[in-house]
Structure formats: C-alpha cells, structure tokens
C-alpha cells in the first residue's frame, strides 16, 4: 500500500478516527482524483454514481447563493444512499484534489467502518437542520 495514499487519507477529517487497518482498507477502495476549476462533479436531477471527499480546493453546491465546501467536506452521498437523483449540482470552484468512491465502494465503506457511517449521518442531520432553518452552509 503506497504510504503517500495513507498520508493523504489521514489529512481528511472524516478518516481521523480510523485505525491503521481501516485506513489501509480505505486506501484500497478509493481513488485520488485531480480536477480543474469549473468541472461539474455532480449534475442536479441526474443519477449519481460517486461519492467525493475534498482533500484540497473548494467546490460550490448550487443551492440558493451557493454553499461552499472545502477540505475535509464531502458531497454526493445523498444519491448513493437512496438511489435518487442528485439534489443539486456541485462544481469545482478551484483546482481540486478529491478522494472518490464508486457506488459499491461507498456501500462497502459505510458497511465496514461504523465511525464513518456515524460521521456521515451527523453531517446529513446538520444539513437538514440548516436547510430547515433557512441557513446555507
Ligand atoms: P447528492 O444529492 O448526491 O449530490 C449533490 C450533493 O450536494 C448532495 O448529494 C450533498 O452531498 C450536497 N448537498 C446537498 N444539499 C446540501 C446542503 N444543504 N449543504 C451542503 N451540501 C449539500
């Protein structure tokens, strides 16, 4: 397992509580991807096949005035969790480095690593709360 991939994963907040063994597992099932500013990473109303974690750079979720996501944030979980279409478009605001998981790998990750499932559920609850109160971040 390349050491630099593990080092990259350790930078991502979602994986902070993971054991070495879990990190090695995650490194095996994820891809590191670099994209340029302007790339559409998720398209509203389209089916979604990937889950994204931001390592570097920022993206805008195109809801209201736009919700900025940065290093440590993730997106694309909703379409994968319920099989529905993308809730919003997400566009790279800057050049970005991302950790990307396909549908099957995402399902496997949340099945195998309970700390990550809980962290994702916590963020979903916060996003619902923010949407309900009219705040966007
Ligand atoms: P998905 O619907 O798969 O694709 C668009 C993504 O935008 C969605 O998953 C979430 O990850 C993200 N998203 C949707 N609503 C919000 C929000 N209110 N705050 C932050 N991110 C959001």
Q: Nearest residue CA, atom 8 of ligand 1?
A: 76
The stretches in the chain having pLDDT less than 70 are 1, 135-137
Q: What is the pLDDT of residue 37?
A: 98
Calpha distance 9→87 (Å, rounded): 27
Rounded to whole angstroms, the maximal C-alpha distance in the chain is 44
Q: What is the pLDDT of residue 17?
A: 86
The best mutation among 78, 92, 121 to test binding of ligand 1, ranked by most ligand atoms within 8 Å of the C-beta, falls on 78
Query: What pTM did the predictor assign?
Result: 0.93
Residue spans of the domains in the chain: they are 3-133
Q: What is the pLDDT of residue 1?
A: 62
Measured from the CB, is residue 67 less than 6 Å from ligand 1? yes
Q: What is the pLDDT of residue 93?
A: 98
CATH class of this structure's domain 3-133: mainly beta
Report pLDDT digits (tens) over 32-49: 999 999 999 999 999 999
Q: State both tokens at 67.
A: 């919700």
CA-CA distances (angstroms) from residue 36 to 63, 77, 88, 136?
A: 21, 22, 19, 25
């Amino acid at each position: 397992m390349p050491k630099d991939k593990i080092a990259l994963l350790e930078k991502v907040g979602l994986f902070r509580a993971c054991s070495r063994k879990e990190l090695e597992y995650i490194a095996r099932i994820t891809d590191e991807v670099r994209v340029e500013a302007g790339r559409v990473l998720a398209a509203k109303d389209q089916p979604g096949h990937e889950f994204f974690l931001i390592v570097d750079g920022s993206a805008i979720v195109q809801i209201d005035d736009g919700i900025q996501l940065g290093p440590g944030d993730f997106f694309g979980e909703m379409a994968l969790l319920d099989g529905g279409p993308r809730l919003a478009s997400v566009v790279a605001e800057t050049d970005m480095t991302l950790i990307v998981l396909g549908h099957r790998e995402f399902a496997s990750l949340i099945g195998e690593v309970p700390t990550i499932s809980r962290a994702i559920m916590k963020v979903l609850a916060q996003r619902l709360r923010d949407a309900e109160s009219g705040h966007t971040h």
